[in-house]
């Protein structure tokens, strides 16, 4: 039986055995388990070669690149001819000028988003070399990668990156703070403002501002390195709303634009009020946006009603919901007025003036349909006209108290049930009485026709009909 061949080769200064045939087989390098590192912490991978080829021997996390290895840097990695790679992706905020500083024995290369910024790639034995580079980092997220190789001797490597914070170099404004939230305390009548951490690496402080709603003037509340602050201002009446915004300031003295203005309403408001009238039930349904402020307590719904000869705002009830249905309302064609007030957890309620305010967002002027018909029937007179019957409707109600806009005359053939409109017309308001007339022709001779009259209003309501009057048209 022939013997298997054993071949020994030197690769990169390291002896490795390759067994030919089926006697022995070398296991490939096991891929290191994937590692997830914390935010802004480097992922570090070790290679047992200087070309960073194959699977890494080890993968872990490293908070800083600052090493001095006198022997093997990790189990399974040789003392010489090894490579280590660090990489981190982080948010640089607004970016700006940075200094990349590297020091190493043998080879070190530094990359930003794959673009080489530092290149020291030579076997120096135990002697370390240093180099720095001024780099402008764009805003947002970017990846730094550091490649280090040790060919022989001591293995020392160090790398740092930091912003240039002098006003002469840094002209980049920080990003505006985000995530601004407010919390109003109804007992102390003070507002606490909080916000998210800024992404800037050269942040010096935050500046909190306030202004009353309706004013364009900002007042500085405080400068702080914290991410929350309670405004010492005591709201004078629990009703004055304020805007707050936060600005970031860096170590070079650059100040960001303001955060999105955040409004604080110590007393929540009803921003809109709508309503509908249901003819079937005669009820009004009111709707408004539901308040979500933690200091909201309840709503009070009111209507403007006549009380003892005077118009007053009358409470209909309270609710924590955002709808309300009234009792039946007379369909009188008038305008009804409704208002919704808010009460906060401290017991303060929306200011409620006695007068109407057409511009108030919490007030609704709702036109109710006219369901009241004219009260009386007009008189009806019949006579002849050329080829037919003249019908005249007249109402003697004085002009100031008339509740109709026109007169209508209908006709049918005697013995039938179907009425036809032969006149639907307004009247001459200059006359002392309301009247309208029509010559209803041609009509068939020898037939008897019946007529009736009634008045109508602008909503289409009709009065009772007059007495029915009949006339027979002669033949020929």
For the stretch 249-267, pLDDT in tens is 999 999 999 999 999 999 9
Preceding peptide of 442 cis, ω within 30°: yes
Closest CA to 256 of 401, 96, 391: 96
441 or 341, which is more confident? Answer: 341
Would you state the pLDDT for residue 288? 98
Who contacts 393 (Cβ-Cβ below 8 Å, separation ≥6)? 378, 379, 380, 407, 408, 409, 423, 435, 436, 437, 453, 455, 466
Tokens encoding 322 = 């955002």
Would you state the pLDDT for residue 9? 35
Domains in the chain: ranges and CATH:
42-163 (2.60.120.260), 181-264 (2.60.40.10), 274-367 (2.60.40.10), 379-472 (2.60.40.10)
Residue range 214-227: mean pLDDT, rounded? 97
> Token pair 């200064």 is at which residue?
13
Please say if the pLDDT value at position 449 is more than 80. yes
Would you state the pLDDT for residue 23? 30
Query: For the ranges 30-34, 117-121, 176-180, 238-242, which has the lowest average pLDDT?
Result: 30-34
Would you state the pLDDT for residue 475? 82
31 or 227, which is more confident? Answer: 227
d(CA 233, CA 258): 20
d(CA 55, CA 339): 73
Query: For the ranges 8-17, 135-144, 348-357, 396-405, which has the lowest average pLDDT?
Result: 8-17
Q: What is the pLDDT of residues 84-100, one digit of tens each?
A: 999 999 999 999 999 99
Would you state the pLDDT for residue 269? 96
pLDDT bracket for residue 474 (50, 70, 90): confident
Please say if the pLDDT value at position 7 is more than 60. no
Closest CA to 326 of 271, 364, 381: 364
**What secondary structure does DSSP assign to 114-183, as a single string?**
TEEEEEEES--TT-EEEEEEEEEEPSSEEEEEEEEEE-SS-EEEEEEEEE---TTT--PPPPPP---EEE
> For residue 108, what is the enclosing H or E element?
strand 107-112
Q: What is the pLDDT of residues 297-321, one digit of tens each?
A: 999 999 999 999 999 999 999 999 9
Please say if the pLDDT value at position 220 is more than 90. yes
The mean pLDDT of the chain is 92
Please say if the pLDDT value at position 4 is more than 70. no
Would you state the pLDDT for residue 26? 33
pLDDT bracket for residue 387 (50, 70, 90): confident
Return the half-sphere exposure (C-beta side, CA atoms, 13 A cut-off) of residue 355. Answer: 3
Would you state the pLDDT for residue 149? 98
Would you state the pLDDT for residue 33? 52
Is 358 exposed, middle or buried (CB count within 10 Å of its CB: 0-12, 13-18, 19+)?
A: exposed
Is 365 exposed, middle or buried (CB count within 10 Å of its CB: 0-12, 13-18, 19+)?
A: middle
pLDDT bracket for residue 386 (50, 70, 90): confident
Would you state the pLDDT for residue 377? 97
By the 8 A CB rule, do 450 and 470 touch? yes
Would you state the pLDDT for residue 173? 97
Would you state the pLDDT for residue 444? 87
Please say if the pLDDT value at position 29 is more than 50. no
Residue range 31-53: mean pLDDT, rounded? 89
């Amino acid at each position: 039986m022939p013997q298997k061949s054993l071949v020994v080769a030197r690769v990169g200064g390291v002896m490795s055995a390759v067994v030919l045939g089926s006697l022995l087989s070398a296991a490939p390098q096991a891929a290191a388990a994937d590692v997830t590192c914390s935010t802004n912490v480097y992922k570090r991978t070790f290679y047992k070669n200087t070309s960073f080829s194959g699977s890494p021997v080890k993968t872990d996390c490293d908070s800083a690149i600052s090493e001095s290895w006198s022997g093997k840097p990790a189990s399974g990695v040789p003392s010489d001819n090894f490579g280590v790679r660090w990489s981190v992706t982080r948010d640089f905020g607004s970016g700006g000028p940075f200094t990349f500083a590297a020091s190493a024995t043998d080879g070190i290369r530094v990359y930003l988003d794959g673009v080489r910024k530092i290149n020291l790639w030579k076997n120096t034995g135990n002697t370390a070399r240093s180099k720095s580079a001024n780099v402008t980092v764009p805003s947002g997220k970017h990846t730094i990668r550091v490649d280090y190789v040790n060919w022989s001797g001591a293995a020392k490597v160090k790398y740092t990156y930091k912003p240039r914070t002098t006003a002469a170099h840094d002209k980049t404004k920080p990003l505006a703070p985000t995530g601004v939230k407010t919390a109003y305390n109804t007992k102390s009548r003070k507002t606490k403002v909080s916000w998210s951490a800024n992404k800037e690496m050269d942040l010096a402080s935050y500046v909190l501002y306030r202004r009353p709603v309706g004013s364009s003037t900002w007042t500085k509340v405080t400068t702080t390195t914290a991410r929350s602050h309670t405004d010492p201002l005591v709201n004078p009446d629990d009703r004055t709303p304020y805007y707050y915004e936060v600005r970031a300031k860096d170590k070079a003295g650059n100040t960001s634009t303001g955060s999105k203005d955040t409004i604080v309403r110590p007393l929540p408001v009803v921003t809109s009020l709508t309503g509908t009238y249901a003819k079937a039930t005669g009820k009004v349904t009111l709707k408004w946006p539901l308040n979500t402020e933690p200091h909201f307590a309840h709503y009070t719904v009111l209507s403007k009603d006549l009380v003892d000869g005077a118009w007053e705002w009358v409470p209909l009830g309270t609710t924590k919901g955002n709808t309300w249905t009234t009792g039946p309302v007379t369909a009188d064609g008038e305008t009804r007025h409704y208002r919704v007030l808010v009460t906060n957890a401290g017991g303060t309620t929306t200011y409620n003036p006695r007068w109407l305010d057409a511009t108030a967002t919490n007030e609704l002027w709702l036109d109710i349909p006219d369901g009241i018909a004219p009260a009386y029937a007009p008189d009806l007179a019949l006579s002849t006209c050329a080829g037919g019957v003249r019908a005249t409707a007249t109402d003697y109600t004085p002009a100031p108290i008339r509740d109709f806009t026109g007169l209508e005359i209908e006709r049918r053939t005697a013995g039938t049930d179907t009425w036809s409109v032969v006149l639907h017309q307004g009247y001459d308001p200059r006359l002392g009485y309301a009247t309208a007339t029509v010559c209803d022709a041609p009509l068939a001779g020898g037939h008897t026709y019946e007529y009736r009259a009634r008045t109508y209003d602008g909503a289409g309501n009709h009065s009772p009909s007059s007495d029915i009057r009949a006339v027979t048209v002669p033949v020929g």
